């Protein structure tokens, strides 16, 4: 069954928790005892209706106890698809949270309040979603009940957003008028908005076409570990395990191992469930080769006529995620696919004003949540692709060596 990963983003109180609760509840993805608990809590709070946002409150409790959770993953399934929601609970650290949750997302769900329309956060989230090249954006115009389910208001917001999105490189954007509180157009069609001819949110999530979103052209297999079992039966086995980051690999394919540059042929492709004739993203497999080549973690198996760039100088769009800005000529650990090298920020070229999308060239001091274009120099060459070609081999993170914190996420240009 196909899996759809999506992120959620909205401003405080736009109704994100309620919407997720509603999705789980109406699609019957939660357990009876959870429903009972939520009903009881709602009654205790003197509410007339069941407060579905209580379903996701476990997260809030943890937050209030000071436990940091950047991204909470929620799973649910309908007969048509499986879903993973990367729910990003932060108020202030939204950029950070979104970047963390979005790197593998197929779709970004952007929530806004029908009374307020498009606000700064909407623009910010949309910009980050396009920067991260999340292929589909669904704008949920929530709280339609508070604007009398007005078609006119909905159209006004669609127009407002479309005008803003014209400046972005958004490939696919949809709009759904909903009321998360009453369940209109979330899972069930709204009786109150007969003017809306489009799909309900769940139906959209179940049917949106994501098959073409993967890169099946550029073969990229970053090696995670070398498998050499010690048992008698397998003593000849030498497999390179990892997750396919691009392209299709088959036994018999001529391949090239980078950075060593040795060529070989794929002997077999094994998985947990046995050998396969084909491996493509995001399958986790173990590849064996006809020849004995010295391969280690961080190396990449590719095709001869289609190689990533080998370079120590990278131009990157960087989202800074830490309270503390980068140190002058500061050194960081750069993680890229299964590889780790050390790096230095050589130059800040410009920052981006997320609201106007203009370049800021006169202020180059990077602060938390800001996005800037920087030039990096690494201690060892990386095997990199532009992010717009491959989201796995085109993205990096920077880690502070002393604190071990992830301080930035970047997209290679």
Ligand X SMILES: Nc1nc2c(ncn2[C@@H]2O[C@H](COP(=O)(O)OP(=O)(O)OP(=O)(O)O)[C@@H](O)[C@H]2O)c(=O)[nH]1
Q: Which of 197, 206, 207 minimizes the C-alpha distance to 177?
A: 197
Cβ-contact 260, 253 below 8 angstroms: no
How far, rounded to the nearest angstrom, does the alpha carbon of residue 346 sit from its chain's CA centroid? 27
| Among the listed residues 124, 143, 153, 214, the single contact to ligand X using CB under 6 A | 143
| Among the listed residues 10, 222, 242, 247, the single contact to ligand X using CB under 6 A | 10
Choose the binding region for ligand X from 137-145, 257-265, 275-283, 362-370 (rule: CB under 6 A): 137-145
Q: Which is nearer to ligand X, 192 or 267 (CB)?
A: 192
Residues numbered 17-46 forming contacts with ligand X, rule: CB under 6 A = 17-18
13 binds ligand X, rule: CB under 6 A: yes
Q: Which is nearer to ligand X, 102 or 257 (CB)?
A: 102
15 binds ligand X, rule: CB under 6 A: yes
Choose the binding region for ligand X from 122-130, 141-149, 346-354, 386-394 (rule: CB under 6 A): 141-149
Cβ-contact 76, 24 below 8 angstroms: yes
88 binds ligand X, rule: CB under 6 A: no
> In three state form, how does the secondary structure of 87-147 look?
ECCCCCCHHHHHHHHHCCCCEEEEEEECCCCCCHHHHHHHHHHHHCCCCEEEEEEECHHHH
| Among the listed residues 4, 5, 7, 16, the single contact to ligand X using CB under 6 A | 16
The whole-angstrom separation of Cα 28 and Cα 79 is: 11
Smallest distance from the beta carbon of 53 to ligand X, in angstroms?
Answer: 4
214 binds ligand X, rule: CB under 6 A: no
Binding mask 52-71 for ligand X (x = CB under 6 A): -x------------------
| Among the listed residues 102, 141, 180, 245, the single contact to ligand X using CB under 6 A | 180
Question: What dihedral do alpha carbons 133, 172, 25, 182 form, nearest 10°?
Answer: 130
181 binds ligand X, rule: CB under 6 A: yes
Count of beta carbons in the 10 Å neighbourhood of residue 405 = 13
Total of chain residues touching ligand X, rule CB under 6 A: 16
User: First vs last Cα of the chain: how many Å apart?
Assistant: 34
List the structure tokens of 95. 């950029």
């Amino acid at each position: 069954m196909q899996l759809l990963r999506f992120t959620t983003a909205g401003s405080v109180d736009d109704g994100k928790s309620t919407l997720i609760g509603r999705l789980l509840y109406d699609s019957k993805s939660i357990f009876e005892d959870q429903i009972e608990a939520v009903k009881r809590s709602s009654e205790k709070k003197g509410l007339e209706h069941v407060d579905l946002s209580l379903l996701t409150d476990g997260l809030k409790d943890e937050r209030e106890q000071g436990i940091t959770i950047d991204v909470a993953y929620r799973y649910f399934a309908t007969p048509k698809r499986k879903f993973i929601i990367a729910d990003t609970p932060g108020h202030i650290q939204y950029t950070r949270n979104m970047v963390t949750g979005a790197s593998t997302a197929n779709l970004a769900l952007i929530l806004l309040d029908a009374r307020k329309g498009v606000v700064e956060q909407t623009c910010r989230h949309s910009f980050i979603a396009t920067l991260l090249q999340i292929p589909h954006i669904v704008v949920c115009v929530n709280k339609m009940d508070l604007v009398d389910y007005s078609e006119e208001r909905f159209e006004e917001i669609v127009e407002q957003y479309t005008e803003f999105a014209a400046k972005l490189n958004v490939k696919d954007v949809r709009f759904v008028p909903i009321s998360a509180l009453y369940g209109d157009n979330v899972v069930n069609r709204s009786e109150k908005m007969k003017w809306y001819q489009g799909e309900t949110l769940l139906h959209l999530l179940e049917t949106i076409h994501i098959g073409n979103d993967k890169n099946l052209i550029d073969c990229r297999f970053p090696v995670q570990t070398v498998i050499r079992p010690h048992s008698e039966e397998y003593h000849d086995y030498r497999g390179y395990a990892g997750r396919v980051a691009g392209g299709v690999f088959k036994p018999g394919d001529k391949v090239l191992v980078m950075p060593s540059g040795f060529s070989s042929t794929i002997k077999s492709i094994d998985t947990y469930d046995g050998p396969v004739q084909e491996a493509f993203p995001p399958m986790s497999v173990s590849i064996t080769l006809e020849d004995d080549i010295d391969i280690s973690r961080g190396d990449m198996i590719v095709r001869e006529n289609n190689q990533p760039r080998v370079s120590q100088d990278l131009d990157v769009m960087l989202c800074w995620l830490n309270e503390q800005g980068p140190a002058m000529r500061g050194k960081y650990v750069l993680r890229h696919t299964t590889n780790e090298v050390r790096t230095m920020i050589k130059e800040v070229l410009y920052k981006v004003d997320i609201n106007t999308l203009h370049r800021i060239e006169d202020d180059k001091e990077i602060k938390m949540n800001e996005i800037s274009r920087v030039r990096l120099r690494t201690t060892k060459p990386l095997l990199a692709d532009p992010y717009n070609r491959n989201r796995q081999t085109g993205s990096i993170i920077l880690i502070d060596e002393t604190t071990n914190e992830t301080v930035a996420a970047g997209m290679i240009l």
